[in-house]
């Protein structure tokens, strides 16, 4: 057999994904020496080639399709972790922006399928096209969601006429203390996955692909309880100990999602049909003050019981919310200034929450924990968020324990069809 044929066979095998099970099997059948001695995925792949082993196909349970009518990561059941990244575009050429979106699409398809990015991962004379830290891992239900901020619709790329109605920077809200390093951005990438290393890997590779075209503006990691810790998949709790997201609309109701979440062609920006608008707020929690508050005050602040998540005066988490119900003393069960009462209002305005907790270490100015909520909501029109946030900013009892330090909005593109690329309806 010729050297050319040998190389072809090797390349074919090397391109096959290596599962975690394969790594463990190699360690137990003589591959351990390669792991310890070679110290590289290349050594493991060589052992795989020698044994002519075929990697097991990735279980569909670990994969969320990238292609579809809508982008994944919106109504997708929330994964354990998030890695959120805002970018500033540095190029002024529209074609360069288009090429970035095309390259991001190709890489995202690979990563959400558990494959390596690019084809130059075994050439010793070139830097690998994939950074490698997710090699052998499943996709862990990785979703990658993209969007554009209001600033992308300035004169740089000739997109002024395509700016959607009502899509402009948020108004100032009372009590917020925004810090510029946590605000804005031309583009957004939201990566969610059941493994934080998988999520980091996705952002890292997209950042590398963007070099020369876009740079990071700000990032935030987030987490919630894992599936292993809560097999029943109950409503996650925030860092104040209360269930967060109980009042979300039913994502399985397609008619409701079209009314609440998905933009329609009749909304004034036909290219956004099937997309959605994201509002994101970095909310720092005054945990130390909260921890000194009585349980009665905490429950009155949220309008729910801490243990069950039920509305005050009710028994079950998903019992209907009755804002007029009162006790024998005539006092409302759910205080009018509670977070839930103000969020619900008259029920005419809804949005889809998809938030995560965050911990950023210590606030060097106060010496207290920098921890809180990366609030993310999706809505058909950004006015939905503004309407609710104006009520909350004015009189929410929760404002005693939180401060909004980061803010941004993005128009998340419609889904991508095979052969297309993210943002192709815009560009």
98 & 224 share domain: yes
> Does residue 392 belong to any structural domain of this protein?
yes
**Which of the four pLDDT bands, split at 50, 70 and 90, describes residue 57?**
low
In the DSSP assignment, the letter for residue 228 is T
Give the pLDDT score at 175: 87
Q: Is the pLDDT of residue 22 over 90?
A: no
**225, 268, 274: which is closest to 245 by C-alpha?**
225
199 & 340 share domain: no
Give the pLDDT score at 59: 67
CA distance 198 to 405: 27
Q: Which residue has the higher pLDDT, 102 or 44?
A: 102
295 & 360 share domain: yes
**Which of the four pLDDT bands, split at 50, 70 and 90, describes residue 49?**
very low
Q: Give the lowest-confidence range in 88-102, 304-318, 358-372.
A: 358-372
**Which of the four pLDDT bands, split at 50, 70 and 90, describes residue 29?**
very low
Which residue is it, tokens 């001695």? 37
25 & 87 share domain: no
Percent of the chain residues past pLDDT 90, beyond the cut = 81
Q: Is the pLDDT of residue 62 over 50?
A: yes
Q: What is the overall mean pLDDT for the chain?
A: 89
Q: Is the pLDDT of residue 54 over 50?
A: no
Q: Is the pLDDT of residue 51 over 90?
A: no
Domain end call among 233, 250, 269? 233
> Does residue 165 belong to any structural domain of this protein?
yes
**Which of the four pLDDT bands, split at 50, 70 and 90, describes residue 65?**
very high
305 & 378 share domain: yes
165 & 220 share domain: yes
CA distance 196 to 204: 12
200 & 317 share domain: no
Kind of pairing between the strands at 402-412 and 276-285: antiparallel
Report pTM: 0.85
CATH, residue 104: 3.30.70.100
The pLDDT tens digits of the residues spanning 213-269 come to: 999 999 999 999 998 898 888 999 999 999 999 999 999 999 999 999 999 999 999
The pLDDT tens digits of the residues spanning 185-206 come to: 999 999 999 999 999 999 999 9
Q: Domain residues for 146?
A: 60-233
321 & 350 share domain: yes
The pLDDT tens digits of the residues spanning 330-385 come to: 899 999 999 999 999 999 999 999 999 999 999 888 889 999 999 999 999 999 99
Give residues with Cβ within 8 angstroms of 20, minimum separation 6.
136, 137, 138
> Does residue 385 belong to any structural domain of this protein?
yes
CA distance 193 to 152: 27
CA distance 206 to 112: 13
> Does residue 87 belong to any structural domain of this protein?
yes
Give the pLDDT score at 364: 86
39 & 133 share domain: no
Residues in the chain: 427
In the DSSP assignment, the letter for residue 77 is P
Structure tokens given for 96: 């360069």
Please state the domain count of the chain: 3
69 & 116 share domain: yes
220 & 129 share domain: yes
Domain end call among 51, 70, 88? 51
134 & 80 share domain: yes
Q: Residue 177 phi/psi, 5° resolution? A: -130, 70
Q: Residue 279 phi/psi, 5° resolution? A: -115, 135
Residues 64-75 have a mean pLDDT of 98
């Amino acid at each position: 057999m010729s050297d050319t044929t040998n190389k072809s066979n090797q390349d074919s095998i090397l391109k096959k994904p290596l599962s975690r099970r394969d790594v463990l099997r190699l360690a137990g059948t003589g591959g351990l020496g390669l792991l310890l001695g070679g110290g590289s995925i290349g050594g493991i792949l060589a052992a795989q080639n020698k044994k002519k082993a075929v990697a097991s196909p990735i279980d569909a349970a670990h994969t969320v399709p990238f292609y579809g009518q809508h982008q994944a990561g919106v109504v997708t059941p929330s994964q354990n972790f998030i890695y959120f990244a805002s970018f500033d575009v540095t190029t002024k050429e529209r074609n360069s922006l288009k090429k970035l979106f095309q390259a991001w699409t190709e890489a995202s398809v690979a990563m959400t399928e558990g494959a390596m990015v690019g084809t130059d991962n075994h050439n010793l004379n070139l830097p690998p096209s994939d950074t490698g830290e997710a090699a052998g891992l499943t996709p862990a239900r990785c979703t990658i969601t993209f969007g554009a901020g209001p600033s992308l619709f300035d004169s740089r790329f000739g997109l002024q006429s395509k700016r959607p109605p009502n899509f402009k920077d948020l108004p100032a809200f009372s009590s917020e203390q925004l810090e510029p390093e946590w605000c804005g951005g031309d583009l957004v990438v939201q990566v969610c996955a059941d493994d934080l290393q998988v999520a980091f890997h996705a952002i890292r590779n997209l950042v590398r692909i963007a070099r020369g075209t876009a740079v990071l503006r700000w990032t935030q990691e987030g987490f919630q309880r894992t599936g292993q810790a809560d097999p029943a998949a109950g409503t996650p709790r925030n860092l104040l100990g209360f269930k967060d997201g109980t009042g979300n609309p039913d994502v399985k109701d397609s008619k409701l999602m079209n009314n609440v979440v998905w933009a329609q062609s009749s909304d004034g920006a036909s290219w956004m049909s099937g997309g959605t608008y994201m509002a994101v707020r970095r909310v720092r929690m005054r945990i130390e003050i909260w921890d000194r508050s009585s349980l009665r005050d905490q429950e009155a602040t949220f309008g729910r019981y801490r243990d069950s998540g039920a509305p005050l005066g009710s028994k079950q988490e998903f019992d209907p919310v009755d804002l007029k119900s009162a006790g024998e003393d005539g006092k409302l069960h759910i205080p009018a200034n509670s977070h839930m009462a103000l969020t619900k209002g008259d029920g005419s305005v809804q949005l889809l929450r998809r938030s995560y907790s965050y911990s950023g270490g210590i606030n060097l100015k106060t010496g207290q924990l920098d921890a809180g909520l990366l609030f993310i909501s999706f809505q058909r029109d950004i006015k939905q968020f503004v309407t609710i946030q104006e009520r909350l900013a004015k009189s929410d009892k929760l404002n005693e324990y939180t401060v909004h330090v980061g803010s941004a909005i993005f128009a998340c593109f419609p889904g991508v069809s095979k052969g297309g690329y993210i943002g192709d309806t815009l560009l």
